[in-house]
Amino acid sequence: MRQLSSAAHLSAARGTFRRFQLVFTPSGGAVLVISLIGLIRSLVMRNSYEIVIFCAALFLLLALGAAGAWKSWKLKSMDAGWKPPFPMTACAAEETEITSLDPQTPGSSIPLFFRLHYIIKGRFFPSDAESCPVLVETSVPRKNTSAKIALDFPMSGVFRGEGFCLLRDIFGFFSFNCGQRQQRTVMVRSSPCFGKKPIINAQTGAEDRRSKPSADEERYYMREYTPGDRLRDINWKSSEKIDSLITRISTDNQEKITRIEVHFRNYGADAFLESLWLLDRAKAQLSYFLRTLMEQNSSFVFDVYGAGKNWEIEDMDDLENFFEELSGLSFMPLKNENFSGAQNKGDIYVFSTACDSGLQGFLLANSQRPVSLFLIQPAGIEKSEEGETIIKTEILNLRNFTAMGCGIPPRWLARGKVKPLAVQTGKTDVFYAKVKF
């Protein structure tokens, strides 16, 4: 109970600090100090001209401070909110909507020399262990109850931030908190990539796609489980009796569905800027692959295997939910993998990066199966008959971070480079990515 009480007092203290934090900006504080020192010096020297100037400066500060403090108190109940676009996509240049900016209530109009500013600040996580600060701001035109703010990100990840209003004078002397703060967590998807139209050869399994009431249970028959059957169709009671998996299959199936096995290998030992960009491009290639095939044929079902988690994607809703989770996936340390699925005969589609040191072992374990590999490598140079030609590469410019209000931690730039990964498999599509300083 004492701990809870202490936490409550701490939370209240933080809220009080936010409300009554220092209202002077650095320039306002400098003007205040200079005016006070100048006034004292002019009084000592009995310089009436300087006395008038510094008194006028102090009077201006006093008038602006009083007006700002009074109006910010009037606006303390304003509940302005920020609504990012959904889905939020990196480098999309979309604007976030600011709503409920309603200072036109009685006694709450914005003073003549003041403007409302809306600020969104927080941290952007391209991976679980790495983050960078984010700060964007916009000025709200007078008498407007809504506004737009440019909130964008250079790559996929998770943004955790809060939005709040500040009342500032046009001279830049004061900054008052007003309104309520709103915290949000935003999943940022990878910017789109474009590649060749995927051609697949997937294993099939018959499934009834129509919903059936429990009263129609007798319309099902049983057969032995085969790879590709849904787990929810397994009759566990019958399976226990004969010590073998039995699947319920409808007697009036209307269509076949095609199952596609996909492996997203987000394995990597260390996360820095170049490796994070490679992972982002692997997410983009996977998203392009899944969406393209789903739009081609809605009967496709994808079994996606990631580092520590698996997904079954049956329709567009499942696909959109998967894309949201994919945005926040980061590198996972390589561990001993279970290759029990290597006995299957169907095609598999693998998405990986040059950071995946266990990729060759995975490919060898599945060497008896047709494997299609989509590999993201750091940018290289290939030789042609005319000389050396730079391979077509997707580039991440560092200036994109500062242009979007994102800081760049120095440790992201001081961890070396990713070396190209040499692998051998039947069919490999290589894509290149590079960070440009």
Asked which of 252, 276, 306 is the last residue of a domain, the reply is 252
The dihedral sign for the CA sequence 175, 181, 185, 187: negative
Note whether 183 and 298 are same-domain residues: no
Per DSSP bridges, beta strands 95-99 and 81-83 are antiparallel
Answer whether residue 278 shows pLDDT above 70. yes
Q: Is residue 372 part of a domain?
A: yes
Number of domains in the chain: 3
Q: Are residues 24 and 128 in the same domain?
A: yes
Tell me: pLDDT of 122 over 70.
yes
Q: What is the CATH number of the domain that holds 121?
A: 2.60.40.10
| Geometric angle at alpha carbon 225, from 223 and 226, rounded to 5° | 115
Which whole number is the average pLDDT over 298-319? 90
Co-location of 245 and 269 in the same domain: no
- Give yes or no for a contact between 155 and 276, defined as CB atoms under 8 angstroms apart: yes
The per-residue pLDDT for range 377-434, each reduced to its tens digit, is 997 655 445 555 556 788 888 888 989 999 988 888 776 688 888 887 778 888 899 8
Q: Does 330 share its domain with 371? A: yes
In the structure encoding, which two tokens stand for residue 52, read together? 């008038």
Who's near 134: CB < 8 A, 6+ residues apart?
A: 120, 121, 122, 123, 124, 153, 159, 161, 404, 405, 406, 407
How far is 401 from 408, CA to CA, in rounded Å?
7
The string of pLDDT tens digits covering residues 13-59 is 444 444 445 788 999 999 999 999 999 999 999 889 999 999 999 99
Q: What angle (nearest 5°) sits at the alpha carbon of residue 199, between those of residues 197 and 202?
A: 145
Strand, coil or helix: 339: coil
**CA separation for the pair 172, 179 (Å, rounded):** 20
Residue 240 included in any domain: yes
Distances (CA, A) of 77 to 101, 103, 164, 378: 11, 10, 12, 51
Q: Is residue 281 part of a domain?
A: yes
For the record, the structure tokens of 409 come out as: 């931690």
Q: What is the pLDDT of residue 342?
A: 52
pLDDT confidence tier of residue 254, bands split at 50, 70 and 90? very low
User: Which amino acid is it at 157?
Assistant: G
Predicted local distance difference test score (pLDDT) of residue 251: 47
Give CA angle at 82 (76, 85), nearest 5°: 175
Nearest to 259 by CA among 375, 318, 347: 347
Residue 313 maps to a domain? yes
Contact between residue 93 and residue 194 where contact means Cβ atoms under 8 Å apart? no
User: Last residue of a domain, which of 252, 271, 288?
Assistant: 252
First and final C-alpha spacing in the chain: 53
Mean pLDDT across the chain, nearest whole number? 81
Shortest CA distance to 203 belongs to which of 339, 425, 374, 369?
Answer: 369
Q: List, in sequence order, every beta strand (DSSP E) within 84-240.
A: 88-89, 95-99, 114-125, 132-140, 147-150, 157-169, 175-189, 203-206, 220-224
Which range of residues forms the domain containing residue 160?
A: 17-189
Whether residue 414 sits in one domain with residue 301: yes
Residue 65 lies in a domain: yes
Can you tell me the mean pLDDT for 297-307?
Answer: 88
Do 322 and 410 lie in a common domain? yes
Domain shared by 165 and 22, yes or no = yes
What crossing angle do the helices spanning 273-296 and 316-327 adopt, rounded to 10°? Answer: 180
Evaluate whether residue 199 is within a structural domain. no
DSSP E strand boundaries for 36-100: 81-83, 88-89, 95-99
307 domain residue, yes or no:
yes
pLDDT value, residue 415: 67
Q: Encode pLDDT of 175-232 as tens digits.
A: 999 888 999 999 999 999 877 777 776 554 434 443 444 444 444 567 777 666 677 7
For the ranges 136-140, 250-254, 332-336, the maximum mean pLDDT occurs at 136-140
Q: Domain of 346: which CATH number?
A: 3.40.50
Would you say residue 70 has pLDDT above 80? yes
Position 6 scores a pLDDT of: 42
242 and 267 inside one domain:
no
Same domain, 136 and 243: no
Question: pTM of the entire structure?
Answer: 0.77
Same structural domain, 156 and 30: yes
> Do residues 401 and 281 both lie within one domain?
yes
d(CA 121, CA 159): 10
Kindly state whether residues 139 and 228 are assigned to the same domain. no
201 is a domain residue? no
